[in-house]
């Protein structure tokens, strides 16, 4: 137990920061309340330093934590800068003479939920068993339901939160039922033991239907977290209803957690298809269909939208489809786990996640930095002629949109290139063609998003657009645009780091396999 705690200092740091924010967020001292963002930023910075120095956890993918946890802290810091103040109007009223009531302030609570969700993402990377996976994934999701409702004082935000919560509860029930089936099929909750049990079953005549159904339900349930078809219906309404900085948070943190959990689950069945076993092929087909449908549905629906946040919402669905292509590539079963301890598809997904998180954040923060009559921008008409009045924001939006499109030489191009190349290596030519056609179709709305501020003259609505007072948002948006260019020189290093992060703990698996009885039951070990 102490060994497990020793690798959790980054998460423990965030939890200690949360407890401190609970106290300062309800203080009568205005300076203490306003210091909440600085306290949260300091907690994230310390967590980043600790995450870089932590030893590898005892999981199927021991290097995963060393890649994802620092990346989560970096993106989390940029997201924190983009949040601004949730209690701006309330603080103005206090300055005007209103009596302070700790029940009416929400800034500290909001930051607590923000850090708790990030801690959940980081905990997903250190999960070694199904219970840990479930709790970490729900710890990522549950705070976001409250963030959606409290981040914006409009009825549409509360409606979005209700939709998000009930659909999220249904999805959690589905993948938890799948976890229960995996336990029933293997007799263990530990991921390494589950893999070893499935290897033994495959060697003794094939894996049973219970395990196949369990992993299938798990993948479908977790599809909600990554906004993949058929669990994507909430995305547009929730993204549009939430405050723009919260939407940027939803587009990265739950999605990253979902893909981390999928990689850990799929690692239990990688390379079990040698010798004619149909099990990995069945999962590969499921992922293949999900990838094709997700990127096609997302891009098709995005092309018909005129509201910016809905376009980015459907774009987020499409990008989940692209990343599912990487998971399909990882399920390629030539070779053995011992001979091929790394899966290029997983590394491509990690690289794509980082690139997507940074550039997508920039697009959302441009919207958060601008306002019309005190309200968020909603349609493309609001962005018309943006270059004439706010040229910096027009440039940031163009760079981020073109990177999301995959235009060379921006970093988004190399992310897609690595992803599609991994699928080609796996022989998934048809899926790559579908992905390429979808990328070409997506150029329609990305070019529109990038060019509307440059090409069109400002109309009546656009003439009323002005900058919001948040300097932190402007800085974070600028960092995202710079990353779209500067990360190109770090492409090889990031790819290498991702490749190291997804190496299976094969030596441990072989040792585990040698100690298990032939009937594959591992319950006694726990």
Tens-place pLDDT, residues 327-367: 999 876 444 333 343 347 899 999 999 999 999 999 999 88
| Average pLDDT over every residue of 460-486 | 81
pLDDT at 103: 66
- Between the ranges 203-212, 292-301, 303-312, 369-378, where is the mean pLDDT highest? 292-301
Lowest mean pLDDT among 239-248, 250-259, 348-357, 469-478: 469-478
Percent of the chain with pLDDT over 70: 85
**Helix, strand, or coil (residue 272):** coil
Does pLDDT of 390 surpass 50? yes
Helices (H), 151-208: 155-186, 191-203
Does pLDDT of 524 surpass 60? no
Angle in degrees, CA 215, 209, 194, rounded to 5: 50
Lowest mean pLDDT among 76-80, 103-107, 415-419: 103-107
Does pLDDT of 300 surpass 90? yes
Location of structure tokens 């948002």: 473
pLDDT at 387: 84
Residue 102 binned pLDDT confidence (cut-offs 50, 70, 90): low
Does pLDDT of 514 surpass 50? no
Does pLDDT of 97 surpass 80? no
pLDDT at 375: 74
Does pLDDT of 521 surpass 60? no
For the chain, how many residues are written? 526
Contact 294, 321 (CB under 8 A): yes
pLDDT at 49: 95
What does residue 408 show for φ and ψ, rounded to 5 degrees? -70, 150
Does pLDDT of 383 surpass 70? yes
Task: Pull the structure tokens for residue 325.
Answer: 């292509």
Residue 462 binned pLDDT confidence (cut-offs 50, 70, 90): low
Pairing type for strands 375-376 and 465-467 reads unpaired
Q: Which residue has the higher pLDDT, 411 or 466?
A: 411
The CA distances from residue 114 to 109, 117, 262, 315, 380, in Å, are 9, 5, 23, 23, 29
| Mean pLDDT taken over the chain | 84
Q: What's the order of all strands across the beta sheet hosting 370-372? A: 375-376, 370-372, 465-467
Lowest mean pLDDT among 126-130, 147-151, 182-186, 226-230: 147-151
Q: What is the pTM of this model?
A: 0.91
Closest CA to 463 of 362, 363, 373: 373
Does pLDDT of 274 surpass 90? no
| Average pLDDT over every residue of 187-216 | 85
Does pLDDT of 69 surpass 90? yes
């Amino acid at each position: 137990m102490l060994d497990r705690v020793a690798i959790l200092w980054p998460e423990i740091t965030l939890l200690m920061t949360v407890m401190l924010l609970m106290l300062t967020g309800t203080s009568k001292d205005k300076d203490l309340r306003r210091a909440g963002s600085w306290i949260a930023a300091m907690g994230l910075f310390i967590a980043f330093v600790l995450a870089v120095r932590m030893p590898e956890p005892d999981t199927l993918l021991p290097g995963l934590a060393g890649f994802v946890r620092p990346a989560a802290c970096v993106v989390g810091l940029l997201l924190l800068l983009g949040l601004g103040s949730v209690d701006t109007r309330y603080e103005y009223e206090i300055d005007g003479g209103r009596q302070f009531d700790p029940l009416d302030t929400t800034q500290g609570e909001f930051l607590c939920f923000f850090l708790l969700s990030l801690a959940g993402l980081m905990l997903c990377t250190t999960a070694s068993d199904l219970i840990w996976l479930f709790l970490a994934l729900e710890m990522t999701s549950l705070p976001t339901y409250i963030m959606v409702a409290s981040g914006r004082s409009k009825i549409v935000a509360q409606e979005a939160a209700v939709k998000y919560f009930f659909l999220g509860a249904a999805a959690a029930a589905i993948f938890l039922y799948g976890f229960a089936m995996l336990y029933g099929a293997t007799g263990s909750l530990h991921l390494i033991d589950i893999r070893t049990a499935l290897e033994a079953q495959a060697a003794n005549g094939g894996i049973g239907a219970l395990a196949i159904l369990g992993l299938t339900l798990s993948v479908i349930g977790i599809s909600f977290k990554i906004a993949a078809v058929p669990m994507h219906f909430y995305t547009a309404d929730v993204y549009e209803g939430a405050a723009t900085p919260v939407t940027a948070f939803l587009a990265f943190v739950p999605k990253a957690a979902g893909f981390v959990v999928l990689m850990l689950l799929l690692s239990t069945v990688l390379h079990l298809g040698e010798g004619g076993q149909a099990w990995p092929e069945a999962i590969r087909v499921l992922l293949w269909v999900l990838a094709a449908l997700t990127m096609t549905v997302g891009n098709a629906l995005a092309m018909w939208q005129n509201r910016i946040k809905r376009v980015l919402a459907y774009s987020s669905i499409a990008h989940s489809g692209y990343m599912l292509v990487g998971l399909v590539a990882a399920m390629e079963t030539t070779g053995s786990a011992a001979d091929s301890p790394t899966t290029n598809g997983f590394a491509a997904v990690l690289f794509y996640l980082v690139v997507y998180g940074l550039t997508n954040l920039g697009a959302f923060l441009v919207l958060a930095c601008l306002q019309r009559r005190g309200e968020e921008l909603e349609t493309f008409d609001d962005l018309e002629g943006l270059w004439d009045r706010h040229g910096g924001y027009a440039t940031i939006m163009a760079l981020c949109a073109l990177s999301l499109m995959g235009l060379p030489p921006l970093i988004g191009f190399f992310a897609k290139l690595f992803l599609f190349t991994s699928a080609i290596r796996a022989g998934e030519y048809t899926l790559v063609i579908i992905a390429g056609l979808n990328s070409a179709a997506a150029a329609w709305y990305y070019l529109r998003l990038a060019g509307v501020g440059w090409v069109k003259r400002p109309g009546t609505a656009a003439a009323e657009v002005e900058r919001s007072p948040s300097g932190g948002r402007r800085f974070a948006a600028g960092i995202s645009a710079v990353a779209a260019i500067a990360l190109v020189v770090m492409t090889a290093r990031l790819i290498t780091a991702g490749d190291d992060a997804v190496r299976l703990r094969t030596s441990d698996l072989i040792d585990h396999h040698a100690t298990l009885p032939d009937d594959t039951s591992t319950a006694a070990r726990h």
